[in-house]
């Protein structure tokens, strides 16, 4: 089931006024141009749409899954609900949208549905609630770090990596639970480390692309507070992604490693403006510091 299908399934059980509001929710959050736009216009990368599907294959029996189709559907739905909840929470905290009752209601609706789907997937409400508590604690910690660093206009690479990991760690919750609940604790740990690196690489790209707009609207950008050229954030991506691939292979997550490999090839080919040698050197340094911080 796609993210949009999961959203519509939740929506149809709500009162009509909330259904009407919900149909325009992606547009209200500023992620689609059209009022009736879809979630997957924003969530375009396949592993962000379906990370549980990428980790579900049994490495001992290629072509078979660790869980049933029905259980995997619940893990996928949990992943989708986490993404929608996390995006609403992020937009509200960053003041990218004006808070209204509808947004607050949908933030809570998808938090509760996230818990329900993860409970159905794991068969254990305690496990689901502990996983959510861990993810939400990380989200609050990462958000607080980001608000503090941007207000002070002070940010170092280590803090940048940590606050990104904490803000986005909810994204791996369902997939991590799938592996842990099937007795794959070591693979779950490696997955989390791999996905943390991927998410940080993606954040570097986003912050580099948003640099000019952030300077114009906020008077500050992530590269400026880091004291780095935006091109160095782009050139940090290849090293980060190569490390993510290594971890995915160590975890025998072959489908994930293949997807990351395709994405890494694209990243290797991006040549941002500016001093190429300086971007390359500073990008490598950023990647090294970030990996150390994320694995500490």
Q: What is the pLDDT of residues 181-209, one digit of tens each?
A: 999 999 999 999 999 999 999 999 999 99
Residue pLDDT, tens place only, 67-98: 999 999 999 999 999 999 999 998 888 777 88
For residues 126 and 153, what is the distance between their CA atoms, to the nearest angstrom? 40
Whether pLDDT at 269 is above 80: yes
DSSP string spanning 17-84? HHHHHHHTHHHHTTS-SSTT--GGGT--SHHHHHHHHHH-B-TTSTT-BSS-HHHHHHHHHHHHHHHH
**Pick from 181, 87, 167: which is nearest to 135 by CA?**
167
Whether pLDDT at 112 is above 80: yes
Check residue 151 and give its pLDDT.
85
Residue 88 to residues 25, 115, 230: CA-CA distances in angstroms?
9, 16, 27
Whether pLDDT at 295 is above 90: no
Whether pLDDT at 148 is above 80: yes
- Specify the DSSP class assigned to residue 70: H
Check residue 212 and give its pLDDT.
79
Residue pLDDT, tens place only, 217-250: 777 889 999 999 999 999 999 999 999 999 999 9
Averaged pLDDT, 116-130? 98
Averaged pLDDT, 147-161? 91
Check residue 129 and give its pLDDT.
97
For residues 107 and 92, what is the distance between their CA atoms, to the nearest angstrom? 10
- Band (pLDDT 50/70/90 cuts) for residue 216 is confident
Check residue 171 and give its pLDDT.
95
Percent of the chain exceeding pLDDT 90 equals: 84
Percent of the chain exceeding pLDDT 70 equals: 100
For residues 225 and 96, what is the distance between their CA atoms, to the nearest angstrom? 20
Inter-axis angle of helices 46-55 and 185-209, nearest 10: 170
Contacts of 14 (CB under 8 A, 6+ apart): 22, 109
**Pick from 108, 160, 159, 102: which is nearest to 136 by CA?**
108
User: What pTM value is reported for the model?
Assistant: 0.94
Check residue 289 and give its pLDDT.
97
Residue pLDDT, tens place only, 30-72: 888 898 899 999 989 999 999 999 999 999 998 899 999 999 9
Considering only residues 6 and 150, tell me which one the structure prediction assigns the higher pLDDT. 6
Check residue 62 and give its pLDDT.
85
Averaged pLDDT, 153-160? 94
User: Mean pLDDT for the chain?
Assistant: 94
CA 42 centroid distance within chain: 12
């Amino acid at each position: 089931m796609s993210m949009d299908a999961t959203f519509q399934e939740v929506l149809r059980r709500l009162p009509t006024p909330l259904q009407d509001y919900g149909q325009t929710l992606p547009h209200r959050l500023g992620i689609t141009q059209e009022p009736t736009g879809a979630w997957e216009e924003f969530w375009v990368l396949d592993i962000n749409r379906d990370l549980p599907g990428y980790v579900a294959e049994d490495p001992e029996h290629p072509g078979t899954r660790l869980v049933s189709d029905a259980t995997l559907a619940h893990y996928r739905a949990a992943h989708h609900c986490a993404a929608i909840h996390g995006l609403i929470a992020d937009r509200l905290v960053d003041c990218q949208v004006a808070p209204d009752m509808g947004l607050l209601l949908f933030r809570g609706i998808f938090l509760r549905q996230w818990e329900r789907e993860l409970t159905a997937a794991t068969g254990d409400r305690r496990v689901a609630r502990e996983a959510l508590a861990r993810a939400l604690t990380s989200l609050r910690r990462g958000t607080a770090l980001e608000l503090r660093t941007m207000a002070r206009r002070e940010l170092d690479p280590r803090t940048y990596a940590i606050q990104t990991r904490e803000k986005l760690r909810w994204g791996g919750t369902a997939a991590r639970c799938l592996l842990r609940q099937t007795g794959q604790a070591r693979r779950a740990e490696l997955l989390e480390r791999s996905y943390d690196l991927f998410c940080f690489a993606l954040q570097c790209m986003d912050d580099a692309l948003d640099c000019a707009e952030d300077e114009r609207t906020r008077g500050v950008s992530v590269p400026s507070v880091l004291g780095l050229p935006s091109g160095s954030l782009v050139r940090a991506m290849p090293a980060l992604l190569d490390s993510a691939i290594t971890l995915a292979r160590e975890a025998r997550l072959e489908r994930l490693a293949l997807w990351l490999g395709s994405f890494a090839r694209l990243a290797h080919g991006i040549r941002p403006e500016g001093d190429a040698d300086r971007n390359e050197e500073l990008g490598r340094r950023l990647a090294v510091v970030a990996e150390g911080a994320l694995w500490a």
